[in-house]
Structure 1
Amino acid sequence: MRLRPLALALVALATMGQAAPSPQPPPQVLFGPLFEAVQAARLYPDSKTFADATPREAPDAVMAAWRAEQPQGTAALRAFVNRHFVVPAEPGARPSLREHIAALWPQLTRPALTPPPGSSALAMPQPYVVPGGRFREIYYWDSYFTMLGLKADGQDALIAGMLDDFDSLVARYGFVPNGTRTYYLGRSQPPFLALMADLDPRHDAATAARHLAALRAEHAFWMKGAAAARKNGASARVVRMPDGSLLNRYWDDAPGPRDESWREDVATARASGRPAEQVYKDLRAGAESGWDYSSRWLGDPARLETIRTTQIVPVDLNSLLWAQEKAIARRCAEAGDQACAADFAAQADARARAIQRWLWLPAQGRFADWDRETRQASPRVSAATLYPLFVGLARPDQAQAVARLVRAQLLAPGGLRTTPLRTGQQWDDPNGWAPLQWIAHEGLLRYGEGDLAAIIARAWLGTVQAAYDSTGKMLEKYDVEAHAPGGGGEYPLQDGFGWTNGVTRVFLERYGDQR
């Protein structure tokens, strides 16, 4: 009787052994030549790292991909492994880019804010994400690219809250300020609110009505002065073109040097030999553009004091306003307001005709800014030429021409150049910026230029990874010529960084780790 429990235990163990599946062969057998290539290349300092990796697909599928691709060289081999395996972090190693970005969202999130008396901050009813570094408040166009990454990481509640914040800003001020500070209430930034609203996880009628009201108010802000522009040629943000059509420019309603760059603006005005108030207006308008600063706005690319932003009709701004008008027309139709839908569809059609007539250069195969003083297209080539592709305004033949120009002049080893000119301004070569990588990628994909879009995305991921490996940081901008941290501009390089995190996170989702 005393042996019975032992006998039962032995029977149970035997039964379990019969039911258990046979172990798979070890990685060296499963992955044969792939395993040997990874270990021989010393892809990981510890040989155990790859031996412990988990394949993302069945081993047969991994090996079929290996035979089809036959990656050559360390970089290609590493990219293959990262696409097909989950590789464990090595002891003491930094987290992966995905892990680092996910860990940054809580660090960059701020709670709802009621500013204390005397503060320059604006109230925010819901939590929000800041870019990082010196940018301690929410910024307008940054937030669209940040939201892309939040979406990829399942942060829908935070996206909804940020959209409530933006709708609240429009309700209070009639537009979305550059950032949530009192000193930004004279200007906005590139109008991405219509595209942000499409990221909202909520689809109820009340939310849709709030977004539509905000978009219509924002459009009125950008078109304020249209009647005066028809008479005088330009008023506030509206410009009358030579044929009488209306397009837009960047502007700032406030006078004087910028609060946040007072010393720098005073010095620039003094060096200009021009009326200080005009220089301040052009500097402020350049800040509204988000490209602060670039040879796009300069008479002499080597001298900031020749800035003349208010004389330029920018292709990016007008592309975004066309997309806004199309979005309002669609949302009005969905709400059953056919008169509104027809009105904004007509405005979008008129803007598209003006863009095609004045901002397209068929001989050069590019979309361009237009100069009010010279009354012709600007000679400055820039990544802004991709905005009509991004919003779907370009014709297929125009998109093909722009793709050729990108390959010839804007494609750098580490991503998309901002411009081909090296001026010392931060929105010129050698710097590349996350939002422009996304604009280019999505615009090229829209028109069937998937190979070029993938080249830009993978090159950008390689640059971000290289800088992360050397600094442990996500940065505001990068040197896309040298796969290194960027430079230039009026302040030190910032880390954090909202829009870099967002765009990089989505590219990682689509293309995998490029290490």
Structure 2
Amino acid sequence: MRVSRRGGGVRTAWLAICLLASIGLAHAEAPPTPSTLWKDLFVRVENARLYPDSKTFADAIPKQTPGSILADFDRERPADDKALADFVAAHFDIPGTPDTTAPAGPTLPLRRHISALWPQLVRPAQESSPGSSALDVDFRHIVPGGRFRELYYWDSYFSLLGVVRDGHADLAKDMVDGFAGLIARYGHIPNGTRTYYLSRSQPPVFYLMVGLLSPRDPAVAYARYLPALQAEYAWWMRGAEGLRRGHAARHVVRMQDGALLNRYWDADDHPRDESYVEDVALAAHSSRPPKILYRELRSAAESGWDFSSRWFADGHDLTTIETTAIVPVDLNSLLYGMERAIADGCRHRREQACAHLYTQRAAQRRAAIQTWMWNTGDHCFYDYQWRKHEPTQRLSAATLFPLFVGVADTRQAAAVAGTVRRSLLMPGGLATTTVATGQQWDRPNGWAPLQWIAVVGLRARQQPDLARDIACRWLATVGRNYEREHKLVEKYNLESGAPAGGGEYPLQDGFGWTNGVTAALLDDYPHCGSSAGGARPPASRTGDANSSTPGAPT
């Protein structure tokens, strides 16, 4: 989309963005999800718990056409669970359980092990089978591992941190092209490449992936992918035009002072196909209307933090989840970064009205984050409960996102660093929150993407000592577990140093973003990694050393 350079260009450009957002549904029609397609058969299989993981049947591949299978089901009506299991086995190919067996015998140093893992996590372009929940994927891509057999949105950026450092720029380019294709097809990047993920996205890190393609001058890549960046931004901003103060529409919230900020929000309000039994069981133990609860759960899944005390009204109980009532500091920081990236891309293309518009939008968002989320007394950025008109006052690692994108000034960064040292720094790295609820995105668990955001943000905002401390503690945690278990996992217990628990599913091995972040930190802090398998092998990477992350404004 090109914008006018004449008088009124900014207003014209913003109206064009709103128009693009309003026609977002004109993209490819979303195929049916498994629960919609298989109806009573889906409900029976899930309620019978034929498989321990609700995701298993949601990912099954039918052996005949859906119409034929449903006709057989109506005719046979399996009388019990055994008959139902026999029916499913006859009519579907069920995905197998991932092999989590660690290699026997001697292992490579950790950095070399990560370099050798990428081919195991790469998948070719894939065409989905009729009736399958899989979406067509027209490009090579990295999967996280374990039960996560498909492409995931925000995981991919953190995986690519290692991919590009190991010399696979061609794979990164394929994935960025592919994500741009998903935006063109659906209007946004879905949570993952499954039909049941199309109703939501994930933290908007596409611009960061684009920046990895041109590390010395990210604006070059932003200009090349400008239509895709603008289209994704328009999707996140749908509903903004005409929104009244103190109200929300889709992902957009108009604050009391008129500022626009964003929230996580899912378009659907029924149980998640991939967690059907868990959602239905939770609704049965809650006094809330099920549809409201289901949308809140889905919206938290869009955040990537599923689940965390960040989203709970009482700070402890999942049944009180209120994701759509919260304006998250991490989401709005990333959208600020996206606005800055689009402005840089427009400027590179000499589209001055466009550059001015997005620069203005970024400045407005930065001011809103400062107004509504910065807490001077507690020295941190909080999420904001827009319905109650108050900060949540629940400290989490999200407080570091404003440092990562450049919203925080150096004074705030120093204050945040002090808060992090006092309340979030643990023996094994950066904690996710300060409370233990049994949810996987709470204390004592640590996650690779949050370590990266913290390290880069602190380093960029003149807090190198804490950045190094977090990096070294994380590398020691991953390194010790690798020496013991000979593998990497999706999350770690930062108190015990062991693989973490909690959440809706067992701990997953693999694991794409742990590999990518650990590789990048080993490269940037090689002396920390001496006990964790050492830095990368010199011959394994063709790129140049870069202690910052392309695409993260500094």
TM-score category, normalised to shorter length: 0.7 to 0.9
Aligned counterpart, 2:472: 458
Aligned counterpart, 1:79: none
In structure 1, stretches of 5+ residues that fail to align are 1-90
Whether 1:505 aligns to 2:519 is yes
Closer/same/farther in 2, CA of residues 400 and 128 from structure 1, 3 Å limit? same
Tell me if the contact between 2:219 and 2:344 (Cα under 8 Å) persists in the aligned partners: no
Aligned counterpart, 2:500: 486
The separation in 1 between residues aligned to 2:489 and 2:105, in whole angstroms, is: 22
Tell me if the contact between 2:211 and 2:219 (Cα under 8 Å) persists in the aligned partners: no
Aligned counterpart, 1:106: 119
Closer/same/farther in 2, CA of residues 344 and 206 from structure 1, 3 Å limit? closer
- Per-residue deviation, 1:514: 3.5
Map of 1:145-224 to 2, 5 A cutoff? 145-200=158-213, 211-224=225-238
The separation in 1 between residues aligned to 2:214 and 2:318, in whole angstroms, is: 43
Aligned counterpart, 1:514: 530
The separation in 1 between residues aligned to 2:243 and 2:309, in whole angstroms, is: 26
Whether 1:131 aligns to 2:149 is no
Amino acid at match of 1:514: S
Aligned counterpart, 1:22: none
Looking at both structures, which has the greater relative contact order when contacts are Cα pairs under 8 Å and sequence separation is at least 6?
2
The separation in 2 between residues aligned to 1:318 and 1:477, in whole angstroms, is: 24
- TM-score w.r.t. the length of structure 1 is 0.80
The separation in 2 between residues aligned to 1:276 and 1:126, in whole angstroms, is: 38
- Per-residue deviation, 1:302: 2.9
After TM superposition, the structure 1 stretch with the greater mean CA deviation from structure 2, 267-276 or 231-240, is 231-240
The separation in 2 between residues aligned to 1:213 and 1:254, in whole angstroms, is: 27
SS of alignment partner, residue 241 of structure 2: helix
Amino acid at match of 1:189: Q
The separation in 2 between residues aligned to 1:379 and 1:449, in whole angstroms, is: 24
SS of alignment partner, residue 253 of structure 2: strand
Q: Give the greater-gyration-radius structure (CA).
A: 1
Map of 1:233-252 to 2, 5 A cutoff? 233-252=247-266
Map of 1:278-317 to 2, 5 A cutoff? 278-317=292-331
The separation in 1 between residues aligned to 2:190 and 2:204, in whole angstroms, is: 10
Closer/same/farther in 2, CA of residues 382 and 237 from structure 1, 3 Å limit? same
Tell me if the contact between 2:204 and 2:335 (Cα under 8 Å) persists in the aligned partners: yes
Whether 1:143 aligns to 2:156 is yes
* 1:217-270 CA-partner distances (Å, limit 9, x unpaired): 000000001125326701100011111111000001122011101111111112
The separation in 2 between residues aligned to 1:108 and 1:159, in whole angstroms, is: 13
Tell me if the contact between 2:269 and 2:292 (Cα under 8 Å) persists in the aligned partners: no
Aligned counterpart, 2:82: none
SS of alignment partner, residue 251 of structure 1: coil
The separation in 1 between residues aligned to 2:385 and 2:174, in whole angstroms, is: 39
Tell me if the contact between 2:403 and 2:413 (Cα under 8 Å) persists in the aligned partners: yes
After TM superposition, the structure 1 stretch with the greater mean CA deviation from structure 2, 336-345 or 412-421, is 336-345
The separation in 2 between residues aligned to 1:455 and 1:324, in whole angstroms, is: 29
Tell me if the contact between 1:458 and 1:514 (Cα under 8 Å) persists in the aligned partners: no
Amino acid at match of 2:169: D
Tell me if the contact between 2:144 and 2:152 (Cα under 8 Å) persists in the aligned partners: yes
Aligned counterpart, 1:63: none
Amino acid at match of 2:497: H
The separation in 2 between residues aligned to 1:205 and 1:161, in whole angstroms, is: 19
Whether 1:319 aligns to 2:328 is no
* 1:137-157 CA-partner distances (Å, limit 9, x unpaired): 111111111010011111111
Of 81, 94, 106, the match for 1:93: 106
Tell me if the contact between 1:160 and 1:201 (Cα under 8 Å) persists in the aligned partners: no
In structure 2, stretches of 5+ residues that fail to align are 1-103, 532-554
SS of alignment partner, residue 227 of structure 1: coil
Tell me if the contact between 2:200 and 2:266 (Cα under 8 Å) persists in the aligned partners: yes
Tell me if the contact between 2:219 and 2:348 (Cα under 8 Å) persists in the aligned partners: no
Tell me if the contact between 2:219 and 2:345 (Cα under 8 Å) persists in the aligned partners: no
- Per-residue deviation, 1:345: 0.8
- Per-residue deviation, 1:300: 2.5
Map of 1:246-265 to 2, 5 A cutoff? 246-265=260-279
Whether 1:355 aligns to 2:369 is yes
Of 327, 333, 343, the match for 2:347: 333
* 1:314-356 CA-partner distances (Å, limit 9, x unpaired): 0000000001001101101111111111111111111111111
SS of alignment partner, residue 285 of structure 2: helix
- TM-score w.r.t. the length of structure 2 is 0.75
Amino acid at match of 2:351: D
Percent sequence identity is 56
The separation in 2 between residues aligned to 1:339 and 1:301, in whole angstroms, is: 44
- Per-residue deviation, 1:117: 1.2
After TM superposition, the structure 1 stretch with the greater mean CA deviation from structure 2, 469-478 or 225-234, is 225-234
Amino acid at match of 1:183: Y
Aligned pair count?
425
* 1:64-109 CA-partner distances (Å, limit 9, x unpaired): xxxxxxxxxxxxxxxxxxxxxxxxxxx9422111121112100100
Closer/same/farther in 2, CA of residues 277 and 204 from structure 1, 3 Å limit? closer
The separation in 1 between residues aligned to 2:111 and 2:219, in whole angstroms, is: 35
The separation in 2 between residues aligned to 1:344 and 1:416, in whole angstroms, is: 33
The separation in 1 between residues aligned to 2:252 and 2:521, in whole angstroms, is: 36
Amino acid at match of 2:315: P
- Per-residue deviation, 1:201: 5.1
Amino acid at match of 2:360: A
Aligned counterpart, 2:131: 118
